[in-house]
Amino acid sequence: LENILSSVAIASLYGIEAGIIREALIEFKGLPHRAEWVGEVEGVEFINDSKATNEDAVRSSLEFRNKKTILIMGGKDKGADFSSLKKVVGEKVRKLILLGEAKRNIRNQLNGICPIEEVEDKDSTGCRDTLLHLMAIRSIRAHIINPSLIPEPFYL
């Protein structure tokens, strides 16, 4: 939203007509891996936001979700402070699935905010089994996923 508003403001400053700005916004498909809609399976939306690799990006992504989300996060542990995500995770996340070397750091900082599940790593069957389990639960509506962490046969 912030990027859209900035783009509209700059285009307006350069005298571009409102109709042209509107058309550009309608036609813009977004960038890969940035809140990218991947598909829907049995009423469950899959969103690829794998570029959300820091706390601010994760917060921003979650703030714009209008449904409870299953958030899959983890990866390389950079010693990040995830405690700033407590409020938004409490409000927007139904379940947190952690993987990679950062999972313990994230769990330590967000424990008790929502249910948490850890999976071993991208080569184990844990992540695949978790995804298949989630796809079977029709009441869950949206997930933010990093598709590079799902074994290849399970890409959508």
In the chain, where the domains are located: 1-30, 32-154
d(CA 36, CA 29): 9
Topology of 32-154 in CATH?
Protein-Tyrosine Phosphatase; Chain A (3.90.190)
Q: Is a pLDDT exceeding 80 seen at residue 11?
A: yes
Q: Is a pLDDT exceeding 60 seen at residue 82?
A: yes
Torsion-angle region of 20 (φ positive above 0: left; ψ -120 to 50: alpha; else: beta): alpha
Q: Looking at this protein, which amino acid is placed at residue 62?
A: L
Which pLDDT score is estimated for 26?
A: 87
Note the pLDDT tens digit of each residue in 13-39. Answer: 999 999 999 998 888 877 666 777 777
pLDDT band at 62 (very low <50, low <70, confident <90, very high): confident
For the stretch 64-76, what's the b/e string if a residue is b when 16 or more beta carbons lie within 10 angstroms of its beta carbon?
ebeebbbbbbbbe
Structure tokens at 127: 């992540």
Structure tokens at 131: 């995804």
Note the pLDDT tens digit of each residue in 104-142. Answer: 999 999 999 999 999 876 544 555 555 555 544 433 444
